[in-house]
A and B are shown apart, each in its own frame.
Chain A
Amino acid sequence: MIQLTVIAGFILAASVPLLHRWFGERTSLMLAFYPALLAIWLFEQMPAVLAQGNLLFEWQWVPSLGISLAFMLDGLALLFGLLISVIGVFVLIYAGGYLRNHTDLPRFHIALIAFMVSMFGLVLADDLLTLFIFWELTSITSYLLIGFNHDDLEARKSARQGLFVTVAGGLALMAGLVLLGVASGHWSLSEIRADDTDLREHALYTPLLICLLIGAFTKSAQFPFHFWLPNAMAAPTPVSAYLHSATMVKAGIYLLARLHPELGGTTLWVTVLSVVGGLTMFTGAFLAIRFTNVKKLLAYSTVMALGALTMLLGIGTPAAMVAFVAFLMAHSLYKGSLFMVAGALDHSTGTKDVTAMGGLRSLMPVTSVIAFFAALSLAGVPPLLGFIGKELMFEAALGANAFQLLLVLLAFASAILTIAVAAIIALRPFYGPRLITPRVPHEAPLSMLLGPGILASLSLLLGIFPSVASELTAATVTSLTGQSSDAYLSLWHGFNLALLMSIISLALGFLVFKRWDHLRPRLALVAPLMRYGPEAGYEALMENIARFSVWQTKVLQNGYMRNYILVMLLTLIGLLVNSILVRHSPLISFSLDVRFYEVMVVGALAMGALFATLTRSRLGAVVSVGIMGLSIALTFIFFSAPDLGITQLLVETLTVMLLVLVLFRLPRFTSFSTTLERVRDGLIAGTTGALICLLILTAWSIDQFAPISGYMIENSAPLAYGRNIVNVILVDYRALDTLGEMFVLALAAIGVIAMLKFDHKSSQGPQAERKEPYDG
């Protein structure tokens, strides 16, 4: 039962503190067994996936709503699942070394495992809503991980930024998924795939695609939402290596790839994805070389890679799909490895600035070799996997049906800059003169070499023997195109234009690396332009939201009860006028057939209301409000609703008791308002009353829906074994509503109690108001 295994992951995350108590420092290793188990399971399923195309694992969850916890395993899910679980193993081992002796290591493990499970669920989810839930879970766990060092202002700010951007996108994604469900009539990916109707022809196609694209672009840091990813580097390095290069940021790419067979290929899809992807690719590569911080360099080069993947999906030709798979694998392997190398450098030298490091080759020989090979893959040098990815990308761009010239130029320019980035990371810290660093450099421990070492070797092995991954490639391309494919990877593509571009870009990239120190001051000249960039837009938006809420709180919620009531009633009047007088004409038809006692009760009610407003005695007002309450209770009883009557009576009694308690604490009865204000308030109150009366009369005469009471009366005894329908509704028919109300009641009570206790404390000491520093 894979579902249980995935859910067990959340339980594992919750039990991390216990594990830490038992296993201490070895916990990281223990936890690494979990992703290892998932990876083994995936390898076991591989033959079945290759044979059948896709496997379904279904588990009914809310059958009445048609929601099931269903997992679908096809080539694409398999590829992503393997990346998540295999890299997850190494990241956990690595984190154990990197965060050794960190007091908050358990907290880190909780969030990381929870993220791993969510990400795994996301790529396996078959149900659209399950997919959405896992999607949001990755956003939340990512927030916790970016803000792991929560005493650091920058980390908090970056975590919030990442959360806002991805969750805002998540909102759009939800709308998109709902539209997708409505348009296709299915709520599971496998059913959507099995259905033959063409969604591209559907009237909702454009809105649903736009919503889905916003969700995917925010998550995968596409231009103009790319700014949150480099800022997310405030996270500890294992997090950057895992979430912000290999897995989470690829969730958006995953979604696009998943929906490509159903939604791809239209003009809108091709235009938006190729252009946005191409732009993101170039922006990432261009912005990368401005930085000397090794993590920022890698982050921007990740933005570049994400852009390239989006672009390939946009191009959409079979060649582009093969390129997508090769590039995805290559990128996850070398980028995960390089991030871990960056962490090792930071760990042993105490700085992240590559210009402050030098000559480390003799001190950190193993790290330097790993960095060298991983960077070769990043640069796309044969015989590494990165070379295959880059070659195929060039070929795909050359074979694009639209925007061919633009995409080729962007890909070429990005490749040059990426090669420079690779050279900076692999050569700068390790060669040249020895520089003094904050810490005395030493070779990283085994736990921090194992992961990057294995990932880099995989890059090399898969580059030399690409046939190993051929079956996986074919299966993934099959799920990307929707038709069975026998695609394979090979190192040598013959002498062609793509190879020529590769060679020229290598030469030019190395030139950029050589001139890097001279280029940087010139690149700094574009910095003022950043003031108009998307990040500045984000900052301005946040600032204005804060300003707006300050303003609206001052105006609408200024702490005076009378003001709140005024605002609420005015809103109500607006809504009622709109619906009764503008949208529907008032329909009044009733017969005056009243009993004597009914008139009496109504009279008492009116008298009570009148007296309550006019009296100058507070006790008198309380009593007359009480009279009104009792009259209402009487009305309920007349119209044979004993339960309501009793409830009203009891609530009235308790209200009077509470009022009596509060009464003694109130200041003397004084008049706050001028005559004019009283007239205004009277008018508003009168209008509201009249409109509500009109509403009830209108509602009484319109029978829009068949009343549900008949069903309840008939079925309460045979189905729910109860003759008291009110109670049956409360505890059986509508038990979920009641449960919700119980929580509301509990919250209200806790609020009242807390407020009273707080007030009671602050009245005794001068430290009444503790100001929370706001770091926004």
Chain B
Amino acid sequence: MVKSGTVILNTAARFLMPLQLLFSVFLLLRGHDEPGGGFIAGLVAAGAFTLYMFAFGVSATRGVLRMIDPRDLIGVGLLLGMVSIVPAWFVGEAFMTAQWWTIPVVDFKASTPLIFDVGVYLAVLGAVTGMVMSLMEVDKDEP
């Protein structure tokens, strides 16, 4: 297994992870107009956690994630994907029709596609991180 704890990797990971996560959120939010989107952003975020895992190991990463299990993220992602379908019902439009709202104070375009994209983001993040995590955990138990 990769021996964690080289100085350069550790230091880099410590600084890179927040940046990568921030970048992933940036990609997620701008995705509708510029290159980016939930899938790419999810992969970037998963990359951030994977890097952290390589540097500090699984248990430290679980510590960073605190109460959140990646598997739960998958579920939340799917739920958001499903939830984003519903609002069209209430305005009497066909199922899955996109709805757009402008949040007045910050002038932010909120929409069901955004909710959907966040769902994609979380599902991808949860799936990839969960897979890498369990792969590394299996490895850890090996003599």
Chain A residues with Cβ below 8 Å from B141 are 760
| B117 touches which of A64, A731, A745 (Cβ 8 Å) | A731
Q: Are A647 and B132 in contact (CB under 8 A)?
A: no
Chain A residues with Cβ below 8 Å from B25 are none
Chain A 620-655, CB-CB to B under 8 Å as 1, else 0, gives 000000000000000000000011001100110110
Q: What number of residue pairs across chains A and B have CB atoms under 8 A from each other?
A: 146
Chain B residues with Cβ below 8 Å from A654 are 43, 46-47, 50, 128
Question: Which of A4-12, A147-155, A717-725 is near enough to bind chain B?
Answer: A717-725
The DSSP consensus for interface residues of chain B is: helix
- State whether A665 and B139 are in contact (beta carbons under 8 Å apart), knowing that A658-B132, A722-B32 are contacts in the complex: yes
Interchain CA distance A732-B114 in the complex, whole Å: 10
Chain A residues with Cβ below 8 Å from B26 are none
Q: Are B43 and A650 in contact (CB under 8 A)?
A: yes
Chain A residues with Cβ below 8 Å from B81 are 738-739, 742
- Which of B75, B77, B139 has the most chain A CB atoms closer than 10 A to its own CB? B139
Q: Shortest distance in angstroms between B59's beta carbon and chain A's nearest beta carbon? A: 16
Q: Are B127 and A650 in contact (CB under 8 A)?
A: no
Q: Are A756 and B116 in contact (CB under 8 A)?
A: no
Q: Are B32 and A742 in contact (CB under 8 A)?
A: no
- Which of A64, A720, A738 has the most chain B CB atoms closer than 10 A to its own CB? A738
- State whether A661 and B37 are in contact (beta carbons under 8 Å apart), knowing that A736-B96, A746-B127 are contacts in the complex: no
Question: Which of A103-111, A430-438, A695-703, A747-755 is near enough to bind chain B?
Answer: A747-755
Q: Are B37 and A730 in contact (CB under 8 A)?
A: yes
Chain A residues with Cβ below 8 Å from B128 are 654, 749
| A661 touches which of B34, B36, B132 (Cβ 8 Å) | B132
Q: Shortest distance in angstroms between B6's beta carbon and chain A's nearest beta carbon? A: 15
Chain A interface residue count: which class? 35 or more
Q: Are A660 and B82 in contact (CB under 8 A)?
A: no
Chain A residues with Cβ below 8 Å from B139 are 661, 664-665
Within 8 A of A (CB), among B118-143: 119-120, 123-124, 126-128, 130-132, 134-139, 141-142
Tell me if A204 counts as interface (CB < 8 A to partner B). no
Tell me if A735 counts as interface (CB < 8 A to partner B). yes
- State whether A732 and B135 are in contact (beta carbons under 8 Å apart), knowing that A721-B32, A723-B34, A753-B130 are contacts in the complex: no
Q: Shortest distance in angstroms between B109's beta carbon and chain A's nearest beta carbon? A: 7
Interchain CA distance A732-B88 in the complex, whole Å: 13
Tell me if A558 counts as interface (CB < 8 A to partner B). no
Q: Are B32 and A724 in contact (CB under 8 A)?
A: yes
Q: Are B77 and A742 in contact (CB under 8 A)?
A: yes
| A722 touches which of B71, B78, B113, B132 (Cβ 8 Å) | B113
Chain B interface residue count: which class? 35 or more
Interchain CA distance A768-B113 in the complex, whole Å: 45
Interchain CA distance A650-B128 in the complex, whole Å: 12
Q: Shortest distance in angstroms between A437's beta carbon and chain B's nearest beta carbon? A: 55
Tell me if B94 counts as interface (CB < 8 A to partner A). yes
Interchain CA distance A226-B40 in the complex, whole Å: 57
Q: Shortest distance in angstroms between A611's beta carbon and chain B's nearest beta carbon? A: 24
Chain B residues with Cβ below 8 Å from A665 are 138-139, 142
Q: Are B113 and A643 in contact (CB under 8 A)?
A: no
Interchain CA distance A748-B38 in the complex, whole Å: 18
Residue pairs across A and B with Cβ atoms less than 8 A apart, 19 shown, are: A643-B36, A650-B40, A654-B43, A654-B46, A657-B47, A661-B135, A724-B35, A730-B37, A730-B38, A731-B32, A739-B81, A739-B82, A739-B85, A742-B77, A742-B119, A742-B120, A746-B75, A753-B131, A756-B134
List the interface of chain B (C-beta within 8 A of A): 1-2, 31-40, 43-44, 46-47, 50, 54, 71, 74-75, 77-78, 81-82, 84-85, 94-96, 98, 100, 109, 111, 113-114, 116-117, 119-120, 123-124, 126-128, 130-132, 134-139, 141-142
